[in-house]
Amino acid sequence: MTVTIGRRKLLVALGGAAAWPLAAHAQQPGKLPTIGYLSGGDLISQRAQVDAFVQRLRELGWIEGRTVAIEYRWGEGRAERYAEIAAEFVRLKVDVILAGGTEPAVAAKHATLVIPIVFPTAADPVGSGLVASLARPGGNVSGLSNLNTGLAAKRLELVREVFPNLRRLAVMANADFSAGLTERKEIDVAAGTLGLEIIPLPIRRVEDIASAFEGLKSRAEALYTTGDPLVNTHRLRINTFALAARLPTMFPQREYVEAAGLMSYGTSFPDLNRRAAEYVDKILRGAKPGDLPVQQPTKFDLVINLTTAKALGLTIPESFLTRADEVIE
């Protein structure tokens, strides 16, 4: 079990992130192989994923600015940006596109059937039309599935374990995010088994977050949030409202817990991005994406924020804490 440094040190670390990608924009790629990095989120929310990706590239011999160039673009949770960025990468004639998430990857595939595309975190690669099959992707796209939607039942079981008397659960989901809608269906099935009443909080843009909480009032006892670039980009705002409403929260990734969420359970996105670098390495050395099978996640993390628990006046069972992969305090 890892005990993470306090929130003050975390914010200091993030504060230095603002200048981090500027060197990439100032590069003169020349004849260096170029990676177009299409992120659905923003710089700070994706820092751990990008660091993992770049570090693995370096280990494989691709050093940014020396043996490879990386063009970073941030969607900032706005779906309309994905197609614009993908089209820009086609104009730039990048050698490979790293598309972080299902929707960015779909946008990239719509933009080009020629440039290789690697996705590190797609919820349903076959169902979304990214690949023909996991074993034989075909076409110009491959990568890793995050299995995010398949974990909904497990997350609800964990919430019920910590809060055995829980009866009413609010679920915030981006109504325009396909994987989130799939996850909502799984939540409804699991909730029926656990005897939970689900109170839906659909959102489509950042302005909907405040109104969703206003409409919620005191109707729920906890909040479950599905993950997507919009929610991830504005996770601190969501947690601020949740804390004000005295709502314990369950999220799909540790980044939400770092931003004052209570707990998360899900795939390690930095690990998936690290493994995505291996796909990019193979493609830059001549492999075809369609010949590279889609891989599944192998690392799942349960993360608890004790500072948030104390702010909510909650006591997390010791038996639960000992099972956590990481405790933030």
If asked whether residues 142 and 193 sit together in one domain, one would say: no
In a domain, 202, yes or no: yes
Sign of CA dihedral 83, 88, 94, 100: negative
Phi and psi angles of residue 284, each rounded to the nearest 5 degrees, phi first: -65, -20
pLDDT (0 to 100) of residue 251: 96
Return d(Cα 301, Cα 252) in angstroms, integer.
9
In a domain, 187, yes or no: yes
In a domain, 225, yes or no: yes
pLDDT (0 to 100) of residue 15: 37
Return d(Cα 260, Cα 240) in angstroms, integer.
8
If asked whether residues 176 and 321 sit together in one domain, one would say: yes
In a domain, 76, yes or no: yes
DSSP run (H or E) holding 197:
strand 197-203
In a domain, 112, yes or no: yes
What is the share, in percent, of the chain residues with pLDDT greater than 70?
A: 90
Range of the domain at 22: 17-146+269-298
If asked whether residues 178 and 47 sit together in one domain, one would say: no
pLDDT (0 to 100) of residue 162: 95
Mean pLDDT of 266-279: 95
If asked whether residues 306 and 209 sit together in one domain, one would say: yes
pLDDT (0 to 100) of residue 46: 87
If asked whether residues 138 and 273 sit together in one domain, one would say: yes
Confidence tier at 79 by pLDDT (50, 70, 90): confident
If asked whether residues 194 and 246 sit together in one domain, one would say: yes
Mean pLDDT of 13-23: 36
pLDDT, tens digit (0-9, with 9 covering 90-100), for 119-140: 999 888 998 899 999 999 999 9
Mean pLDDT of 264-285: 96
Instruction: Share the mean pLDDT of the chain.
Output: 89
Closest CA to 179 of 237, 232, 113, 257: 232
Residue burial 211-237, b: 16+ Cβ < 10 Å; e: rest: ebbeebeeebbbbbbbbbbbbbbbbee
Query: Rounded to whole angstroms, what are the CA distances from 303 to 48, 195, 266?
Result: 15, 25, 9
If asked whether residues 309 and 181 sit together in one domain, one would say: yes
Task: Give the CATH number for residue 175.
Answer: 3.40.50.2300
Least confident interval from 172-176, 179-183, 233-237: 179-183
Task: Tell me how many domains the chain contains.
Answer: 2
In a domain, 26, yes or no: yes
pLDDT, tens digit (0-9, with 9 covering 90-100), for 81-127: 999 999 999 999 999 999 998 899 999 999 999 999 999 998 889 98
pLDDT, tens digit (0-9, with 9 covering 90-100), for 30-42: 589 999 999 998 8
**pTM of the predicted model, to two decimals?**
0.78
